[in-house]
Chain A
Amino acid sequence: EAQVTQNPRYLITVTGKKLTVTCSQNMNHEYMSWYRQDPGLGLRQIYYSMNVEVTDKGDVPEGYKVSRKEKRNFPLILESPSPNQTSLYFCASSIDRDLNTEAFFGQGTRLTVV
C-alpha cells in the first residue's frame, strides 16, 4: 500500500530537548516536504526536498532542520524546541510537482512543547 508514514503520531516534550520526527514514503517519490498546521493559519511549508541531498527552506523554516540522506526518508529535527512550535505536523511526498501527480500526506504528528 502506497503511504507516507510519520512517527510518532503524538509527542509531548519539554523546551530545549532535541527531538526528531521521522517521515518515510514507500513510493520512490523524489519530492518531499514538511508542513505545520495551526488553527486559523492553515498549512505552512517548513522545508522541502527535491531529491537526495537537495533541501530548501519553505515559508516557516526557523527552528527546524531537515536532512535527506535517502530517497524514502525525510526527518524533521527540532534542535531546541520551544512552545511556539507546538503544532500539528504533516509530511508529504509526490513524484514531482506535476499536475497529474497526487501529493500524499502522512497522518500527522501532534507535537506539544511545554
Chain B
Amino acid sequence: DAKTTQPTSMDCAEGRAANLPCNHSTISGNEYVYWYRQIHSQGPQYIIHGLKNNETNEMASLIITEDRKSSTLILPHATLRDTAVYYCIVRGTGNQFYFGTGTSLTVIP
C-alpha cells in the first residue's frame, strides 16, 4: 500500500490560499488520492478525492501531478475554521485507509 508524506505543520494567513502538499511516490495506477481533515476531538471530514485529473468542489481543489507522485490540496480562501489536521491518503487494496501523520494547518488572523 502506498505511503504518503506531508509536512508536519503549516501556517496560513486568513483569507489567503492554503496549499498543502503531499508526496505519494509509490502510488500505483488505480489508486485514488483522498484528502480529509480532522478538527480536534471529531471524526475526519471528507474533503475531496481524485485519480489523475484535477478536481474541484465547494470546499477545495485537488491538483495531482502528471506522474501522480504528488498532489496539492488548495483551500482557496482560508478561514479560522479551516484550522485542522489535514490527511492525504492513498487507498489500500482492500479499500482501507492508512493514515499518515498529516499536516497541522493553523490559519492566522
Q: Do A and B interact with each other, yes or no?
A: no
